[in-house]
Amino acid sequence: MTVQRPEGLSDPDKQELPYEEALHDGAEAETRASEADAEDDAWFPLVLRLGGGARALVVGGGAIGANKTALLVAARAHVVVLAPELCPELARLHRDGRIEHVAQAVSETLLESLLPGARVAFAATDDRSVNRAVARIASTANIPVCAVDDPEASTFITPAIVRRGPVQVAISTSGAAPVLARRLREKIEAMLPGRLDALARFMRARRPEMNAIHPGADTRRRVWEAFLDGPGAEQALAGQEGLATQTLERLARGQGERMGEVWLVGAGPGDPDMLTLGALRLMQNADSVLYDRLLPPEILERVRRDAERIFVGKARSDHVLPQDQINEELVRRARAGERVLRLKGGDPFIFGRGGEEVEALMAAGVPFRILPGVSAANGCAATAGIPLTHRDCAQSCLFLTGHARADGELDLPWDTIARHGQTVVIYMGLGGLASLSAQLQTHGLPANWPAALVENGTRPEQRVIVGDLATLPAKAIAENVKSPALIIVGEVVRHRVISPRGEGDHAS
């Protein structure tokens, strides 16, 4: 019996992916109404070794076959693709020597010659009858086979996969709810660190010495648990293998007391959706958090619930805790073994005094990690619809702090600031706005030079006040603008856009 591709089917490079395949690589196939009841249709999850040249057969040269081939290539299998022609992606893999191509039509004789010795097979054409014929022949040869989009004909299905090097998480609903599997995969992707593979490889490399030091499995387990729950895991994730090794060796020797760690983390300008995945993870792992005034409750709610919270916020001329005492508190808590989260609005190294805190930690010999955040300039300008640079009018962008001296004067390099062709972003400048505007005009910018204020940027209560150097100070008073507010000066303000949803709308 010959299994030929019927005439009139779409060209291989134009095959449409089934719904679930289009949603995500490796997602489960869509179930059919005729599928057996769940009680009679049980699946057993396995992790299959394909590295080292194990052969895998993919029947189909279009987008469906490319989808499955990509999974197999990532697993370092020797992939043989059976198809008269290859879609562009498969053709590229073939040119690069990463797959083998058998450029023939599907036939029973050909399958019977290719299947022996294959560890898995995928029937991945866009013809259901061809896929079922391939699945039948493979099953007869006791080769595990997946007929894409047809669990009933398959002996295995591919789950939704989250991969971090040697760490893999597979989510399966046994073909019952593929969209649910994709949603679960998205949640797990957000939870797992991007460098989890570095941690796994570090632990694998140290297993032999740990086995030699502690032959007992229970003791080894307790050491590894202490390593993962302490600073060692974060050190390995950050690529600090030397520190991670010291931490593990200390735990292996039974030295229970350990040095903690400080994490300087940027929380962004206020919108919780602008938190980075890394920030969220560290917020969930911290033992204590020192946080600033500008952090809204919605962000603090994402900190681990049983972490101790210490408010160290500063307002103009009102410091709850002076900077030197903040530094001392970070050192004290880390030396007591805590994982200390120093959570800052925006980015810790952009007018966040993060540099001073790092210097104090280095002087005290305290391990630390720095995680940047979306800066107030980037976040507020974006939600206000103002580009910080623009090819037509601004080829550079200057960030300044508008803090005045004790006598109220702004001591800034005005000749550098008051220039055409650049954007100037002023942090903490609301109190000195009138003086700032006057100085920029004195040093060469015209009175009608565009300027804007962004109050409570990125938050639901955001307001954008647009004017120019002559009018903006009066508008700020009339609109009763309050801190936090960011000032943006430059012709880019004229290029401001408002999204169709009204984001960035304002009183002006």
Dihedral angle, C-alpha 369, 377, 281, 328, nearest 10 °: 40
Q: What is the DSSP letter of 73?
A: H
Q: 191: closest CA among 220, 175, 219, 167? A: 167
Q: Rounded to whole angstroms, how far apart are CA atoms 336 and 332?
A: 6
Amino acid at 216: G
CA 71, 77, 81, 82 torsion-angle sign? negative
Alpha carbon distance 17, 65 (integer Å): 9
Give the residue from 292, 294, 293, 290 showing the smallest Cα distance to 269: 294
Q: Which candidate in 127, 292, 347, 468 is catalytic?
A: 292
**C-alpha 175 chain-centroid distance:** 28
What 3-state DSSP class applies to 111?
Answer: helix
Residue 475: partners with Cβ closer than 8 Å, 6 or more residues away: 453, 465, 467, 508
Q: Helix 178-191 and helix 277-285: axis angle, to 10°? A: 70
SS3 of 295, please?
coil
Q: From 183, 353, 379, select the one nearest 274 (Cα to Cα).
A: 379
Distance (Å, whole) CA 16 – CA 426: 51
Nearest to 323 by CA among 345, 293, 353: 353
Cα 76-80-82 angle, rounded to 5 deg: 150
3-state secondary structure of 68: helix
Helix or strand holding residue 96 (H, E): none
Ranges assigned E (strand) in 131-277:
145-147, 160-164, 167-171, 261-266
Half-sphere exposure in the Cβ direction for 333 (13 Å, CA): 24
DSSP 238: T
Per-state percent for the chain, helix, strand, coil, to nearest 5: 40, 20, 45
Asked if 423 and 492 count as a contact pair (C-beta separation under 8 A), the reply is yes
Active site (annotated) includes residue 127: no
Q: 338 phi and psi, to 5 degrees?
A: -85, 150
Can you tell me the distance from the alpha carbon of 15 to that of 166, in angstroms, rounded to the nearest whole number? 32
Q: Which of 13, 41, 314, 505 is catalytic?
A: 314
E-strand spans in 124-270? 145-147, 160-164, 167-171, 261-266
Q: Is 271 a residue of the active site?
A: no
The set of catalytic residues is: 292, 314
